[in-house]
Amino acid sequence: MARLPALLATSLILSSFSLSAQESDPFAELDAAMESLEKEGTAAEMSEFQQWKDEYLAEYQAFRQEHFQRVDDIRDNLMSIWGDAEVSTTSQFVEYSDDQKTKTVYDFENDEIRISVVHGENEEVDAKAISKILTDKLTIKKQAEIVKDVTDERVPTVKEMPKSVFEQADKMTQSEHEQKHSATQKPTLVNKDTMLASMLGDQALKDNLIKDLVTQAQKKEQEIELTKKPSAVIEKEIKLIKKQAVAQIAQVEKMSDLVNAAPESTPNKPVISDAKIAKEQKQIQKETEQRIKKLKQTAQALTTDKNKRDALANKKITTFTVPLANKNQLTKAKPFIEPVLSEAKRWDLTPSLMLAIMHTESHFNPKAESHIPAYGLMQVVPRSAGVDVNRFLFKQDKPMLAATLFEPDKNIEAGVAYMHILNSRYLRKIENPLSRMYCMIAAYNTGSGNVAKTFNKDGSRNINRAAKIINQLSPEDVYAKLLSNLPYDETRNYVKKVTKRQNLYTSLDKI
């Protein structure tokens, strides 16, 4: 990202003053400094500021195009092997073997693990094969993971496609494995570095674990769907591409909130205008059409080219679904409660709200990845919330790294800090704490500008103007207005889910 111009960089330095959770307006000094500096700014400085904003959007456009080129390359390669492309989401982590013929899905929402093998139609995959896969996953003594930062990496070739879609495991060599596990040394079945061991929790300590898991597994065989119902596969992928486009449009709106955050009283303040947002939205729509066209070309090649079609038609997929012991949400949240309590106390926020957001964002999946892309437990977006948090906590003008956001403690630190920024900066002029909380929940998902549009009759994204209207309403009316007028269905449902789920964790507010 381009460096901030001197005018804004100077004011960011001032934000390093100590913030106390008890201060009534912790950003007042920063706002005053920004306003003073901008009033004194020369025409050249203001032009530089505007140029930085233009570059910010241009860099995001380049990142977005590179990111989805990578996503589409991965999809096309998986379709050529599996007939579809199942990848990680916020609620499930998907991992492929090196040869991409074995797929493991860790489903955090449904508390199950699905192991699938694509193989010749005359071959059989039995419980013994699944036992070996599970054993291999649990007996590796140490596995160091390197998570590539997709905000900075170039688009990889298909051969470079990472094992788990967006991350590459740095696996130990066979010789290293043999050194650690000699013939006289019994392998350790508990490995907290693996996703499987993490999901199993205390189950991983049981004797005959592998046998019990495979005994409980349900086996299912199916043909390659693309060869039988190509239109259904294509329609599913088109639906995903369109959903990604909506998320990208919302992301542009959130980024405009970030760069337009200077005080409203600043004269001649350059902003990302609605016209510029609309132009970016049209560009996203154009990119979406191009992606759908490429998808259809890939599917057509796989279904009309005789060699490719026969290669898929002569395969089938065998899946073993392993149900895990049902866990209540507090049990799932247990590994993360301590850092949540610490960060919530740090910024005088309610722990139950932080956990409700985490529950809704990722179902407590520390490897959660969304199509925005956002990462980790609290689904922090590197180029919007991540920039805000990096500036606020670390005085760095750059996106957060994906690798950082996959670390639970650092993700929680970032997510809770962003909630603090919403509470104490963007939405600070909303007087009623409950009304502000409802708006914080919505803004965490869609940005403060869309919250403002919900209340401003002219559709303005100015949150300070909206705050004056909000302050005239009861919290109940604010909540109702959000549910009826927020621009996106996803955000309306998000507000309902988070407020309902907060009740699951209120006991922790007393700690």
**Structure tokens that stand for 505 in this block:** 């964790």
Q: Please state the rounded mean pLDDT for residues 35-58.
A: 57
> pLDDT by residue (tens digit) across 111-144?
999 999 999 999 999 999 999 888 888 764 333 3
Q: Which residues contact 314 (CB under 8 A, 6 or more apart)?
A: 120, 121
pLDDT value of position 136: 83
Look at strands 168-170 and 218-223 and give their pairing. unpaired
Is pLDDT of 196 > 90? no
Q: Please state the rounded mean pLDDT for residues 222-226.
A: 94
Share of the chain above pLDDT 70, in %: 74
> pLDDT by residue (tens digit) across 401-458?
999 999 999 999 999 999 999 999 999 999 999 999 999 999 999 999 999 999 999 9
CA angle 108, 114, 115 (to 5 degrees): 140
Is pLDDT of 262 > 60? no
Q: Please state the rounded mean pLDDT for residues 283-297.
A: 96
3-state secondary structure of 487: coil
DSSP string for residues in 342-365 = HHHHHTT--HHHHHHHHHHHHTT-
Q: For the chain, first and last CA: distance in Å?
A: 41
Is pLDDT of 45 > 70? no
Q: Which residue has the higher pLDDT, 325 or 54?
A: 325
pTM, full prediction: 0.77
Say what the alpha-carbon torsion angle 294, 300, 306, 308 is, to the nearest 10 degrees: 50
Angstrom distances, CA of residue 136 to CA of 130, 191, 341: 10, 11, 36
Is pLDDT of 13 > 60? no
Is pLDDT of 286 > 90? yes
Residue with tokens 């993490």: 198
- Low-confidence winner among 17-31, 322-336, 470-484 (lowest mean pLDDT): 17-31
> 272 pLDDT band (50/70/90 cuts)?
low
> pLDDT by residue (tens digit) across 152-166?
333 333 333 333 433
Domains observed in the chain? 6-62+231-310 (no CATH), 85-228 (no CATH), 329-510 (1.10.530.10)
Is pLDDT of 260 > 90? no
**Spatial contact of 105 and 254, defined as CB atoms under 8 Å apart:** no
pLDDT value of position 38: 44
**Spatial contact of 164 and 88, defined as CB atoms under 8 Å apart:** yes
**Structure tokens that stand for 272 in this block:** 């990302």
Share of the chain above pLDDT 90, in %: 62
pLDDT value of position 137: 80
> 258 pLDDT band (50/70/90 cuts)?
confident
Angstrom distances, CA of residue 95 to CA of 23, 369, 409, 480, 487: 46, 12, 23, 41, 35
- β-bridge mates for residue 318, sequence order: 117, 221
- Low-confidence winner among 65-74, 204-213, 486-495 (lowest mean pLDDT): 204-213
- β-bridge mates for residue 282, sequence order: none
- Low-confidence winner among 85-94, 272-281, 412-421, 434-443 (lowest mean pLDDT): 272-281
pLDDT value of position 496: 98
Is pLDDT of 7 > 50? no
CA angle 83, 88, 90 (to 5 degrees): 140
Mean pLDDT of the chain: 81
pLDDT value of position 372: 87
> 187 pLDDT band (50/70/90 cuts)?
very low
> 42 pLDDT band (50/70/90 cuts)?
low
DSSP string for residues in 59-84 = HHHHHHHHHHHHHHHHHHHHHHHHSS
Q: Which residue has the higher pLDDT, 204 or 25?
A: 204
pLDDT value of position 44: 57
> pLDDT by residue (tens digit) across 337-385?
999 999 999 999 999 999 999 999 999 999 999 988 999 999 999 988 9
Q: Please state the rounded mean pLDDT for residues 215-221.
A: 93
Is 346 buried (19+), middle (13-18) or exposed (0-12) by CB count in 10 A?
Answer: middle
Is pLDDT of 20 > 60? no
pLDDT value of position 209: 80
pLDDT value of position 275: 82
